[in-house]
Amino acid sequence: MTSGTPTVRRSAPADRVGTPSTPVRVAKDRTGWLLIGPALVFLTVMAIGPLLFVLYGAFTRYTLAIPTPVTFNGLDNFNKVLGSSRFRSDLKVTALFGLVSVPLQILVGLALAMLLNRLRWGRQIFVTLLLLPMIVAPIVVGFAWDLFLNPIYGPLNSALEGLGLSGHNWTGSAALALPTVMFVDSWQWFPFVMIILLAGLQAIPPRIYEAARVDGSSWTQTFRNVTLPLLLPYILVAFVLRFIDSFKIFDVLYILTKGGPGTRTENLGYYTYSLGFTQFDIGQAAALSLIQLFIVTVVTAVAIAVLRRRRLQQTPRGATR
């Protein structure tokens, strides 16, 4: 550098860590908090408020049908719910929803995701068409399938009778009601699983398949040893999300069967609705809600533990975790 050339020093940026706050920056921070503040307050009230109310109701004798004062009763609501035969029956129905309907959605979603992943053209068109059931509101899906499955004037029974087969009371039969509701729920939500697994397939590097092809691996061996292990995290995520949603299914169930015939299709969500809005027993409804929250939390924790163990097994020894 020439001795006569002045040295130009760059000033540090105003937002560098450790620099004093300027009035402009303070004003921007205040403006940001003013803009997001109402939304934060609304979300806090809507999320924490109902949870506190459920915790309060679960440990009190809180009945709207009888004008009695609210009193603390400890674990009495939990004992009544857990000791009822209706709870055990509804728990079985809820478990069937989670352990039958969700794996069915995963199988259908995986098959369609693999087919879409192999398409070279028109993939976006087919994905958009297959996503339509998921976009439709559940109450609309319930009414549409209720008309389609109607035993008297429904198109399905009319088509079966036209083929010389007998129609069925799809939602009123004790043997067919639960499989029918499972099928309708799977029909609506398999696109959700499909789009998750399609993203997982597209995230697998093509060079892995090329190496397997060079080694002489067949399609079945490649799927079992390459695709399925790499896709397992996405499958677990889809299972957990859909398993949680299986506890909350209500719209389609209410429209198609209303929990019937008897309680053959009644799940824990519908039982909670019945306790709270039919019998007006807020205490037992709140206790049942917390029981469902506990079951979902345990299943989610187990799935996360399996996913973490699988990831640790795939991590090379000596690698930084």
Q: Which domain holds residue 124?
A: 76-314
Q: What angle do CA 115, 116, 122 make, to 5 degrees?
A: 130
Pair of tokens at residue 133: 């059931």
CATH of residue 200: 1.10.3720.10
DSSP letters, 146-197, are HHHT-TTT-HHHHHHHHTT-----TTT-TTTHHHHHHHHHHHHHHHHHHHHH
- At 175, phi and psi to the nearest 5? -90, -25
Contact 283, 207 (CB under 8 A): no
| Residue at 18 is within a domain | no
Could you give the percent of the chain with pLDDT greater than 70? 90
11/80: higher pLDDT: 80
Q: Are residues 284 and 169 in the same domain?
A: yes
Question: To 10 degrees, what angle do helices 228-247 and 102-118 make?
Answer: 140
In this structure, are 46 and 190 located in the same domain?
A: no
First vs last C-alpha separation in the chain: 48
Q: Contact at 8 Å (CB) between 291 and 80?
A: no
Burial (CB count <10 Å: 0-12, 13-18, 19+), residue 219: exposed
Determine the pLDDT at residue 123. 86
Do 95 and 212 belong together in one domain? yes
Query: Does a structural domain hold residue 67?
Result: no
Count of beta carbons in the 10 Å neighbourhood of residue 96: 16
Q: What is the predicted pLDDT for the residue at 233?
A: 87
Give the residue among 318, 286, 321 at the shortest CA–CA distance from 54: 286
pLDDT digits (tens, 9 = 90+) for 170-203: 999 999 999 999 999 999 999 999 999 999 999 9
Claim to verify: residue 255 and residue 113 sit in the same structural domain: yes
Give the mean model confidence (pLDDT) for residues 284-306. Answer: 90
Tally of structural domains, the chain:
2
Say yes or no: 264 and 159 in one domain.
yes
- Residue 318 binned pLDDT confidence (cut-offs 50, 70, 90): very low
Task: Identify the pLDDT of residue 206.
Answer: 87
Shared domain for 53 and 196, answered yes or no, is no
Instruction: Flag whether 3 is in a domain.
Output: no
Give tens-digit pLDDT for 212-257.
Answer: 888 888 888 889 888 998 898 899 889 989 988 888 899 999 999 9
Cβ atoms 98, 246 nearer than 8 A: yes
Please determine, for residue 12, whether its predicted confidence score (pLDDT) is greater than 50: no
Is residue 112 included in any domain, yes or no?
Answer: yes
Round to whole Å and give the CA distance between 3 and 36. 54
pLDDT of residue 20: 54
The mean-pLDDT minimum among 38-42, 64-68, 185-189, 313-317 falls in 313-317
Confidence of residue 16 (pLDDT cuts 50, 70, 90): very low
In a domain, 250, yes or no: yes
Q: Does residue 94 fall inside a structural domain?
A: yes
Q: Is the same domain home to 53 and 135? A: no
Quick one: DSSP state of residue 99? I
> Is residue 49 located within the same domain as residue 131?
no
List, for residues 99-158, the tens digit of each pLDDT value: 899 999 999 999 999 999 988 888 889 999 999 999 999 999 999 999 999 999 999 999
Tokens 């049908």, located at residue: 65
230 and 305 both lie in a single domain: yes
Same domain as 159, residue 33? no
